[in-house]
Amino acid sequence: MKRRVLWIAAAAAASVALLSLLVVMALRTPARKAAETPTMTPVVPTPAPEQRVILLFAGVDDLLHPELRSVPYPAEVGERARIVVSELAAGPRGGLHPVFPYSVQVRGVFVDGRGQAFVDLDPPSEPLTGSSTELLMTYAVVNSILLNCPELDTVQLLFGGREVKTLAGHLDLSRPLSLNKGFIATS
């Protein structure tokens, strides 16, 4: 009997020791992993190669004219579309005229998996007037994106994160728009 009790006591002591060891190891493992992290090679994004993009700005003939500009040209289509819109918003560098009639902020550009881009812009602080203003601004964005991102089919403009029916009372902006060459100068 006494011998049996000793066996039980020894087995219990061994179990406690094993459990303690497991707990200590479990607690120490994350610390060891954390300590390993700084030794890993950091991932540095590969800079996008420079390439010339086509940006459309307004001419005195009330049509869109191309300006070629060397910019980082990411392979990812959403990022490329964002760069195109940002460059448009920054305005022309040559003799052409801006297409945005106000100082616009690009809130976001994203693409879905079905070839459609959404461009979210700050809304104008005052109502826009003239169909020309509305048409050139809209088709400068739509055409510039689609010319530089052949993976995409359509572009829809959003203002302040929302879909709008129209900005100046002419063009229907509540729909995705496709390339419209009618507003691009041919000469």
Partner 1 sequence: MLAGVGLEAQEPAAVQFQLDGSTALAPRIGERIELLPVLRLLGAEVAFSPAAGTYGVQLGEHAIQFSPDRQYLLVDGRLEDAGEKPIASPGGVAASLHFLERSLLAPLGFRLEPADAGFLVVTGARAVRIVDVRPVVADFATTTTLVLTLSEQVKVELVQGERKLTFRMTEAEPRLDTSLSLRSERVKDMASRGSELIITLSRGVGLLSWHQLDDPPRLTIELGKERAGPPPTRQEAVEQVAVAVVIDPGHGGSDQGAVASSGQLEKDLVLQIARRLAATLESRGYTVRLTRNGDEERALTDRTAVANRRNARAFISLHANSSKVAAVRGAETYYMSLDKSATDAAAAATARAENEPSGVPVASSPLNLILWDLAQAEVLNESARLALGIQNHLNNHLGLRDRGVKQAPFVVLTGATMPAALVEVGFVSNPDEEQLLRDASHQQLLAEAIALGVQEFLAGS
* Residue placing its CB nearer to partner 1 in the complex, 52 or 112: 112
Q: Residue 51 Cβ, how far from partner 1 at the closest point, in Å?
A: 27
Number of residues binding to partner 1, judged by CB under 8 A? 31
Strand bridging mode 50-58 / 154-159? unpaired
d(CA 128, CA 21) in angstroms, rounded, equals: 73
* Residue placing its CB nearer to partner 1 in the complex, 85 or 142: 142
Q: Contact at 8 Å (CB) between 3 and 11? A: no
Q: Residue 104 Cβ, how far from partner 1 at the closest point, in Å?
A: 13
Strand bridging mode 50-58 / 64-72? antiparallel
Work out whether 58 is an interface residue with partner 1 (CB under 8 A): yes
* Residue placing its CB nearer to partner 1 in the complex, 54 or 179: 179
Q: Which tokens in the block code for residue 77?
A: 């289509």
Q: Contact at 8 Å (CB) between 90 and 76? A: no
d(CA 97, CA 133) in angstroms, rounded, equals: 12
Please identify which residue in 74, 78, 92, 101 interacts with partner 1, judged by CB under 8 A.
101
Residues binding partner 1 (CB under 8 A): 58, 60-62, 97-98, 101, 129-133, 135-136, 139, 153-154, 165-166, 169-172, 174-178, 180, 182-183
